[in-house]
Structure 1
């Protein structure tokens, strides 16, 4: 029993060499066809959409009020520090898999699996949340054209509402078929090939940026400054407004910046990854943050913040302007933005599953790359089906907190990985290094930027975990139950399948 226990521990803590990780990326069979421009488009496509079109209204109505623009800044700072770390690591380790690959090199297989399992959850839930928003805007647009979508086909099976300061869940009797079809369509485009997905993303990004700028330009002419007072509403207890509310809103908006991680996952398909990946990561963060802040200010200036707790806040805002034609244009732009996020999310989910399965921790069919299209098509099918099911059944409110925890966990590991590689492999020289330097404590390098990234991520996680505990005490156990069941399932999968495959690989390599 002791030997078996030691065997499991040794497997969980074994590290993969940096050279082996890079070699695996070269053998993956993916085509190197993406340049800096395509990577920038990929990042913007994934970032822009969910933040302003879906969750900004809830963040303002429930937590921050007009100070939601400060929440965008806080979330951007956390992502910016981590983005710099991603840029350095991706220039040294130019493979798909992103944080999973970095964790393999630093903390070992067990920690890498735990991280990857949370990132998988993050992508599944993000796709479902974005698709739910897509369904809301499509229903609103069709309503403007006097086409009524049956409520039972655009409402999740489980609904959530705020009653007396707590969340109450109910079964609607419907199924969000619109959201389900949106996820499946994105998976189909991704399977068709990354080159065609990149072109589709380019068109979507150009359209949605133009429409978002139009919303800011026109909407700013109709702002009622009284809606911005008070800019920071007084705290009403817990995370309802005040500075605690701003921090809670920042955590909710965190997942809207997920796009730059998708850029790092594309390193194995970049023509010059050491140059192009950092440009894609940092460039997409800057572009999207500026647009988010401007649009968030206009949104809260058009509508009193307490009225913004709807799945389609931008649609509500443009309807207040009183220009029906302009409202239709903006709703089309919102659908365009959310569609591009779904495409980029499908890309990231399939790539990280490819990396995990290549190491034997997921079934081998995830590694199958289509011989003509050059894409991991079976992985795309699996993730598309799972995300579609979640989109059909669960509301956005249940998904958001779990997404934040997955993202923050991955980001913390990335920040640690930078310091580990600087300390253990000072011989490595990539095309980018995080700024502001650091200090050496013994043989360990402690960087200013990585430490700031870790602190900011912990600050994002704290209010989410605190709120989840409070929900359990009030009787709303569904979010916590989903998290616990998912974590236990991941542990059983790793111990029962992943370690058995890993042990077989070790035996084969020693034979």
Structure 2
């Protein structure tokens, strides 16, 4: 039983951080590149995709949902910063748990991070595709529904198209976008006639395989494969690519806030608490749990610790600075979005672009779509980068096959095999799964990681208080305890179905651990040899 919680000593971790060899990564990232990686991952899905979903839970209270999510991330971020500065290795929360809570917990968090990063990239690839389809519409280019969306989303889109036609004939006096129109449309879609269903399948136009219609989000698959190729070429090239995109998308976000503020109608925010938060704090909490996906960028920065030039100083700067800047931008965008459009009318797939289209600002919508594409591209890059580095760390410890997951390309100095595997899987999942289902799965994995990191700070402060800490989490135990409570609360708000998915995923991981990892763990082998020598 004690071997299950065998810890990787801090001295061994520091020796690995200073090591050199053919399987080490290149240290090429400074504070600007690290902050840009954080902003690159944070600004994207939350603003350009998940904000639409969050508005339908919180109404104008979406602004408070971003504050609530930001607080949970802030507490966790301060804990991450201490670990990242103290243990400058790839692996993020996995490595921190190995040093404090033992191998089994480290495996669980590493497996959990796979759910966070790989599925996060899948979510973003799906969101990227939605905006790509919007951009094609600008040029009057129509992408077949069955190639633009997964089957379920494509069928829903086809049903909406049929529904609009029925509405135009049955309720010609109702203005599209009005409250009555939305209500009638919702009732129509919820209980369609047999004729509507038949027409929807005709509009979808999907081919069949073994008697079942198929649908594949082709743009999502292609962009995931392109980003994977960039990552495999090298970390310097990836960082430069990301930094360029970050400049573009931050400029677009500021443009959205500046122009959108002119079209805000304060009445859309409501005149009392019930109108501002139509579902109360419960709705605000639920929205915070779903949009939490938007914040996972700053912890992805910690996975690049082994590629930072001065990790003890630069990693805390990169994580905390990116989190602070992005939270302010999120709140501003949420205020503009819910001020421009009644929350019931906020579009889920492309909320900002649709908001400006409704104001007949077609050119502004086009700018937003381009910004969304740039933003989501960088998010995908950082998510896939984080995933490959976690798998690299786990394989280096022997918990996964080292020859595959930890092999570094002799020229590009990247774990190229696991990069291509992760990118391909992320693209395939994003191509065949509805975006909201993937996003919810990602969030619960992220929140669990944050809870474990906050717990690890409390453990290490007690077990190794004298260890040199280039950055110290302030106000311990208050900050880590609040991080545990805030992120644990958001986990609860995700509901039982997402807990079930998490439990099933972790059960699969435990099967892998007990059938492979326990036999190949380098830490276990070192401890066993040490005991044998002493004996």
> Could you state the TM-score of these two structures normalised by the residue count of structure 1?
0.89
Q: Which residue is 1:15 aligned to? A: 7
The answer to whether the 8 Å contact 2:60/2:276 transfers is no
The reply on whether 1:211 has 2:252 as its aligned counterpart is yes
Q: Which residue is 2:46 aligned to? A: 51
Distance 1:44 1:189 in 2: 19
Distance 1:145 1:37 in 2: 36
The reply on whether 1:389 has 2:408 as its aligned counterpart is no
The answer to whether the 8 Å contact 2:61/2:276 transfers is no
Q: Which moved more, 1:186-195 or 1:317-326?
A: 317-326
Distance 2:226 2:297 in 1: 19
Distance 2:189 2:472 in 1: 47
Distance 1:316 1:241 in 2: 24
Structure 1 residues 462-477: aligned runs within 5 Å: 462-466=492-496, 468=497
Structure 1 residues 269-418: aligned runs within 5 Å: 269-364=307-402, 365-418=404-457
**Compared with structure 1, are the counterparts of its residues 149 and 165 closer, same or farther at alpha carbon in structure 2 (3 Å cutoff)?**
closer
- Select 2:469's aligned residue among 430, 446, 452: 430
Distance 2:482 2:424 in 1: 37
What CA deviation, in whole Å up to 9, does each residue of 1:417-440 have, x standing for no partner? 11222111122122211222x4xx
The answer to whether the 8 Å contact 1:68/1:249 transfers is yes
The answer to whether the 8 Å contact 2:129/2:219 transfers is yes
Alignment length (residue pairs): 478
> How far is the alpha carbon of 1:279 from its aligned partner?
0.5
The answer to whether the 8 Å contact 1:155/1:172 transfers is no
> Could you state the TM-score of these two structures normalised by the residue count of structure 2?
0.85
Distance 1:484 1:391 in 2: 21
What CA deviation, in whole Å up to 9, does each residue of 1:234-260 have, x standing for no partner? 699xxx721101001111111211111
Relative contact order, CA 8 A, sep 6+: which one is greater?
2
Q: What 5-or-longer segments of structure 2 have no aligned partner?
A: 157-185, 193-200, 202-211
Distance 1:215 1:275 in 2: 33
For residue 360 of structure 1, give the secondary structure of its aligned residue in structure 2. Answer: coil
What CA deviation, in whole Å up to 9, does each residue of 1:449-477 have, x standing for no partner? 111111101111111134x3xxxxxxxxx
The reply on whether 1:122 has 2:160 as its aligned counterpart is no
What CA deviation, in whole Å up to 9, does each residue of 1:157-178 have, x standing for no partner? 3449799999x9x986311111
Q: Which residue is 1:262 aligned to? A: 300
> How far is the alpha carbon of 1:106 from its aligned partner?
1.0
Distance 1:198 1:353 in 2: 20
Q: Which residue is 1:471 aligned to? A: none
> How far is the alpha carbon of 1:379 from its aligned partner?
1.2
**Compared with structure 1, are the counterparts of its residues 481 and 414 closer, same or farther at alpha carbon in structure 2 (3 Å cutoff)?**
closer
Q: Which residue is 1:70 aligned to? A: 64
> How far is the alpha carbon of 1:274 from its aligned partner?
1.0
What CA deviation, in whole Å up to 9, does each residue of 1:271-319 have, x standing for no partner? 1111111100110001101111101111111111112242111111121
> How far is the alpha carbon of 1:491 from its aligned partner?
1.2
Q: Which residue is 2:291 aligned to? A: 253
> How far is the alpha carbon of 1:23 from its aligned partner?
2.3
> How far is the alpha carbon of 1:485 from its aligned partner?
3.7
- Select 1:33's aligned residue among 15, 28, 45: 28
For residue 26 of structure 2, give the secondary structure of its aligned residue in structure 1. Answer: coil
For residue 8 of structure 2, give the secondary structure of its aligned residue in structure 1. Answer: coil
**Compared with structure 1, are the counterparts of its residues 17 and 505 closer, same or farther at alpha carbon in structure 2 (3 Å cutoff)?**
closer
The answer to whether the 8 Å contact 1:227/1:301 transfers is yes
Structure 1 residues 61-210: aligned runs within 5 Å: 61=56, 63-159=57-153, 173-210=214-251
**Compared with structure 1, are the counterparts of its residues 133 and 452 closer, same or farther at alpha carbon in structure 2 (3 Å cutoff)?**
same
Q: Which residue is 1:493 aligned to? A: 512
The answer to whether the 8 Å contact 2:17/2:87 transfers is no
The answer to whether the 8 Å contact 2:408/2:414 transfers is yes
Bigger radius of gyration among the two: 2
Q: What 5-or-longer segments of structure 1 have no aligned partner?
A: 1-8, 439-446, 469-478
Q: Which residue is 1:442 aligned to? A: none
Q: Which residue is 2:179 aligned to? A: none
Structure 1 residues 215-234: aligned runs within 5 Å: 215-229=256-270, 232-233=273-274
**Compared with structure 1, are the counterparts of its residues 231 and 369 closer, same or farther at alpha carbon in structure 2 (3 Å cutoff)?**
farther
For residue 375 of structure 1, give the secondary structure of its aligned residue in structure 2. Answer: coil
For residue 491 of structure 1, give the secondary structure of its aligned residue in structure 2. Answer: helix
For residue 27 of structure 2, give the secondary structure of its aligned residue in structure 1. Answer: coil
